[in-house]
Amino acid sequence: MNKGELIEAVQKNLGGDTTKAAADAAVNAVIDTITKNVKKGPVQIIGFGTFSVVKRGARTGINPQTREKIKIKASTSVKFKPGAKLKAAV
């Protein structure tokens, strides 16, 4: 499922009188809110899961083509841990 399909599914779920623009705005609002707040701390949606920031340290890797050792810089990423209801649904 991509974002367009998600917007269509939200539109159908909200009912026939909901416009595609309203469903698009709702999906974008949720994504924007999660994006802004995950910087401050974990975003937990009960039953769905938790988004949190993870810091990865610098490390040494290997280029698979040349087998040469390379340095990989430290980075920050987002981790998602699924909730119990999501795990049960899958």
What pTM does this model have? Answer: 0.76
- Residue-level pLDDT, tens digit, the chain, 90 residues: 999 999 999 999 988 788 999 999 999 999 999 999 999 999 999 989 999 999 999 999 999 999 999 999 999 999 999 999 999 998
- Residue 4 is predicted with a pLDDT of 92
Options 4.10.520.10, 3.20.20.100, 3.40.47.10, 3.40.50.360; CATH of 41-90: 4.10.520.10
- Residue 80 is predicted with a pLDDT of 96
Distance of CA 85 to the CA centre of its chain: 17
Task: Kindly report the three-state secondary structure assignment for every residue of 10-65.
Answer: HHHHHCCCCCHHHHHHHHHHHHHHHHHHHCCCCEEECCCEEEEEEEECCEEEECCC
- Residue 41 is predicted with a pLDDT of 93
For the chain, the domains span 1-39, 41-90
- Residue 16 is predicted with a pLDDT of 74
- Residue 34 is predicted with a pLDDT of 95
